[in-house]
Each structure stands twice: as structure tokens, then as C-alpha cells.
Amino acid sequence: MIDTSQAILLAILQGLTEFLPISSSAHLVIPSLVLGWPDQGLAFDVAVHVGTLAAVLFYYRGDLARMADSWFRSLLGGPATEDSRLVWYLAVATVPAILVGYFAGDFIEDRLRNLPVIATTTLLFGLLLGFADRRAPTAGAGVQLTLLVAVLIGLAQAIAPIPGVSRSGVTITAALLLGMNRQAAARFSFLLSIPVIAGAGTLKSWELVSSGHGADWLQLGMGALVSGVAAYLCIALFLRLLDRIGMMPFVYYRVLLAIVLYGLWLA
């Protein structure tokens, strides 16, 4: 059982790394390996997922309300709009991740959650992000989101369950390689996180209920709140600075992190 200070740090890590392209799994493995912390447990995982989901829902609340309104109007015979099509794009792009999670989730959890894999994927996908960022169109330019582009980004997201890949990192990388600009790539990536985080949280909640384990509700509530605040601030600051700094600071960070992880593995 983790203590309060450990819970706060893990919640902050989850909130930040869920949306930054630096891999949450790479960061959450370090405290247990280096500091000998116990596993945070399934209930805490559910809590921090609720927090990050609430953060992205709140940040995009205006966009989501407009998208829902346009989508329902189109179902009732109204015209298809950019917002209504975006709902379908998000739904289609989520399917590959669902299939991989269903058919390969246990294999990934049992065989790939180790330091050599996390270090290697952190490095390789970090370098790929850097390559994509060098080719990124300037703000206001770039290709428009289409069904094909959404499907290809969804296929890229399907490999995100492999530890070290980073869901936000791989989807932003794919969007940049397909010709979207940084802001458009990040926005679609963050919106695409909503069904994924909701699905993962629902699955973990079902596992928690099925297990019948008790819970420290005060710690869980604190974890959800801290991860939610961290995630909201992360999204807001990331999008504000994105065009100014690009992705290269995160690429350099991932390379350094990979070196640290390789060092831990060899040690």
C-alpha cells in the first residue's frame, strides 16, 4: 500500500505523462525500481484515470458540447458538419486500440512490461517523434483531418499499449507524418484520448468491483484530484507553448530517459 506522499507523486506523474509525449509507463516504473515503492494497486489506477479523464473533458467542454450537438442533429437528418464528422473520426480511430487491448492486452502486460522494452521504445519512438516534428507544417498550414487520416492515426494508437511508446506521442507523431500541423495533431490526439481513457477506466473499474477489494477513499479522491489538476495544467501549457518550442525538448528528454532506463537495466 502506498503512502500519501507516494500517492501524490504518482498522481502528478500520471497527470503529466498521460498527455505529454514522454510515456507514462516509463515514468511510473522508475519509483518502484529505484525507490522500492509498492505497487499502487488497481483502485488507485482507476482514480488517477478518472482524474485525467475529467481534465480533458473539462478542457474541451465547449468543443465536446458543439460536437455532440452537431452529431445528434446529423443523426436526425441535419447536415453533416466538421464537428459531426469529427465524432465519427474519433470513433473509428478508437477501434484498433480496442482490438489490440482485447486480443493482446494480457500478452503486453505479462511479456513487455520490462526495462529493456520500455527503454528501447522510449528511445526509438522519441527519435521518430523528432523526425516527424522536423517535417511538421507551420501553424495554419497542413492537411485537413479526413477519415483516412483518422484511421491511420488510430492504427498508430493501437501500438500505444506497448510500454514506453506513449499514446500521445505516437498519435501526434503519426499526425505530423501525415501532414497535420502541431496544433491540429495535438488536438486530435487529446480528443482521441477521451474514449481510450474512458474505456481503460471502465475496464479497471469492473476488475476492481469483481475483485471485491476494499479502498482508501480519501487517498483515491486525492489521487483523482491531483492527477486531474496536473493533467489540466499540462494540456493548457503544452498547447500554449507548442508552436514556440515544438516537440524537440520532449525528444531530448526521451533520449535522456532511455539512457537512464538502460542504466537501471544494466545495474
C-alpha cell at 15: 497527470
For the ranges 36-50, 204-218, 238-252, the lowest mean pLDDT is seen at: 204-218
Distance between CA atoms of 55 and 88, rounded to whole angstroms? 22
Q: Are 85 and 139 in contact (CB under 8 A)?
A: no
Mean pLDDT of the chain: 91
Helix or strand run (H / E) with residue 135: none
Which of the listed ranges 14-18, 82-86, 115-119 does the model predict with the highest average pLDDT? 82-86
Q: Are 52 and 15 in contact (CB under 8 A)?
A: yes
Task: Give 198: exposed, middle or buried? Use CB within 10 Å, 0-12, 13-18, 19+.
Answer: middle
- pLDDT of 232 higher than 80: yes
pLDDT of residue 205: 79
Share of the chain above pLDDT 70, in %: 98
CA distances from 14 to 85, 198, 241 (A): 31, 15, 20
Distance between CA atoms of 141 and 183, rounded to whole angstroms? 10
Using 50, 70 and 90 to split pLDDT, how confident is the model at 73? Answer: very high
Mean pLDDT of 83-112: 93
| pLDDT tens string 11-32 | 999 999 999 999 887 787 777 7
* Among 192, 160, 172, residue whose Cα is nearest residue 132: 172
Q: Are 198 and 61 in contact (CB under 8 A)?
A: no
